[in-house]
Amino acid sequence: MPPLFRRLAFTLLAPLALFAQDLSPGIPSDLDAKNASTVWVNTPKPNSLPPGVTHHIFSSKAFGHDIGYCIYLPPGYAETPTARYSVIYNLHGAGGNEIHAMLAAEVLHEGILAKRWPPMIIVFPNGGKSTFYKNSADGKYPAETLIIDELIPHIDATYRTIAQREGRAIEGFSMGGRGATRLALKYPQLFCSLFNQAGNVLRLADLYDPAQPNRYPNSYLGQNRQTHIDNDPFLLLQKNHAAIKSGLKIQIACGTTDNGHIKSIREFHQALLDAKIDHTYLEIAALEHQHDEMIRRYREIWFNHHAKNLRPPSL
- Residue 207: name the closest of 132, 282, 258, 274 by CA: 132
Determine the Cα–Cα distance for residues 207 and 219; give it in Å rounded to an integer: 11
H or E stretch covering 59: strand 53-60
Residue 206 has pLDDT above 50, yes or no: yes
Residue 271 burial by CB count (10 A; 0-12/13-18/19+): exposed, middle or buried?
A: middle
Q: Helix count (H) and strand count (E) of the chain?
A: 13, 8
pLDDT digits (tens, 9 = 90+) for 268-307: 999 999 999 999 999 999 999 999 999 999 999 999 999 9
> What per-residue string of b and e applies to 282-294 under the rule 16 or more CB within 10 Å gives b?
bbbeebebbbeeb
Give the pLDDT score at 28: 54
Output the pLDDT for position 183.
98
Taken as a whole, the chain contains a residue count of 315
Residue 31: the pLDDT is 87
What does the pLDDT read at residue 315? 79
What is the structure's pLDDT at 51? 98
Tens-digit pLDDT profile for residues 52-96: 999 999 999 999 999 999 999 999 999 999 999 999 999 999 999
Candidates 3.40.50.1820, 3.30.70.260, 2.40.50.100, 1.10.645.10; CATH matching 21-309: 3.40.50.1820
Average of per-residue pLDDT across 223-230: 96
Q: Is residue 14 over pLDDT 70?
A: no
pLDDT (mean) for 226-243: 98
Let me know the angle formed at the C-alpha of 193 by 187 and 198, rounded to the nearest 5 degrees: 95
Confidence label for 5 from pLDDT (cuts 50, 70 and 90): very low
Quick one: which of 295, 106, 53, 271 has its CA closest to 197? 295
pLDDT in tens, 30-59: 888 999 999 999 999 999 999 999 999 999
| Each residue's pLDDT tens digit, 94-150 | 999 999 989 999 999 999 999 999 999 999 999 999 999 999 999 999 999 999 999
In angstroms, the CA 6 to CA 287 distance is 17
Q: Which residues of 84-100 are buried (b: 16+ CB within 10 A; e: fewer)?
A: bbbbbbbbbbbebbbbb
Q: Is this model's pTM higher than 0.85 or not? A: yes
Report which residue type is found at 141: Y
Tens digit of each residue's pLDDT (9 = 90 or more) over 138-185: 999 999 999 999 999 999 999 999 999 999 999 999 999 999 999 999
- In this predicted structure, the answer to whether residue 22 has a pLDDT above a threshold of 80 is no
Measured between alpha carbons, how far is residue 203 from residues 134, 158, 231, 265, 280 in Å?
Answer: 14, 37, 9, 11, 21
CB count, 10 Å around CB of 46? Answer: 6
d(CA 46, CA 70): 14
Q: Which whole number is the average pLDDT over 11-25? A: 34
Instruction: Return all residues near 44 (Cβ < 8 A) that are at least 6 apart.
Output: 55, 70, 99
**What is the CA 227 to chain-centroid distance, rounded?**
20
Query: What are the φ/ψ torsions at residue 134 (nearest 5 degrees)?
Result: -110, 160
**Helix boundaries (H) for the chain:** 31-36, 103-113, 143-145, 152-158, 175-186, 204-207, 218-221, 225-230, 233-239, 241-247, 262-274, 291-297, 304-309
